[in-house]
Amino acid sequence: MKRREAVQYISLLLGGTIIGTSYFLEGCKSKTGVSMAFTPDDVSYLDEIADTILPPTKTPGAKAAKVGQFMTVMVNDCYDADDQKIFHEGMGKLDDFANKTYNDSFMKLNPQQRHDLLVKLDGEQKDYMAKKKKEDPTHYFRMMKELTLLGYFTSEIGCTQARRYVETPGRFDGCVDYKKGDKAWA
């Protein structure tokens, strides 16, 4: 596909960073979407998954940035029917995995258990994505992780607290000193 090319082209045109590179162009494939409804419980569940992927540190985590809600908007509006199905089924699979591993649902696990579980799942996702054939579907946890990163780092918290956002920089300095630990510009 031309996505990579196009992303690079935008980067050139806009002179650098763009919003949501991983999502910008391939957002939706051209099939009519069948919306599957998310419940408020689903939003809480997705918030906790997101907060395990990007937890609070010195800066707020993904739950504070309302990433669960964001994921539902993106899946409803931007995913095609096949991907919506994978995502919804994936929510069940993730909980099955929790039950299998800890004999309890994900929501009942403590933060360390959640972390360990999703580390395993991320490993599985990486293996699958590396080996899969082009026409094979995306792994559901890959979807959750990508949406979490996009949703968090483009949120107000992700831009103004996790990173640094200056709406109107006023000038360009092409060469400033950088110390390890300084945040990126949003």
34 to 53, contacts with another protein by CB under 8 A?
Answer: 52-53
Q: CB of residue 108 vs another protein: minimum separation in angstroms?
A: 19
Contacts of 83 by beta carbon, 8 Å cutoff, 6+ apart: 29, 75, 137, 138, 143
Residue of 46, 54, 98, 143 that binds another protein (CB under 8 A): 54
Question: Can you tell me the distance from the alpha carbon of 84 to that of 79, in angstroms, rounded to the nearest whole number?
Answer: 6
Residue of 98, 109, 143, 186 that binds another protein (CB under 8 A): 186
Question: Can you tell me the distance from the alpha carbon of 109 to that of 123, in angstroms, rounded to the nearest whole number?
Answer: 20
| From 38-46, 86-94, 96-104, 172-180, span contacting another protein (CB under 8 A) | 172-180
Residue 80 in 3-state DSSP?
Answer: coil
| From 69-77, 90-98, 101-109, 128-136, span contacting another protein (CB under 8 A) | 69-77
Helix (H) or strand (E) holding 21: helix 21-24
Contact between 129 and another protein by CB under 8 A: the answer reads: no
Contact between 91 and another protein by CB under 8 A: the answer reads: no
Q: CB of residue 8 vs another protein: minimum separation in angstroms?
A: 6
Question: Can you tell me the distance from the alpha carbon of 137 to that of 83, in angstroms, rounded to the nearest whole number?
Answer: 8
Contact between 183 and another protein by CB under 8 A: the answer reads: yes
Contact between 170 and another protein by CB under 8 A: the answer reads: yes
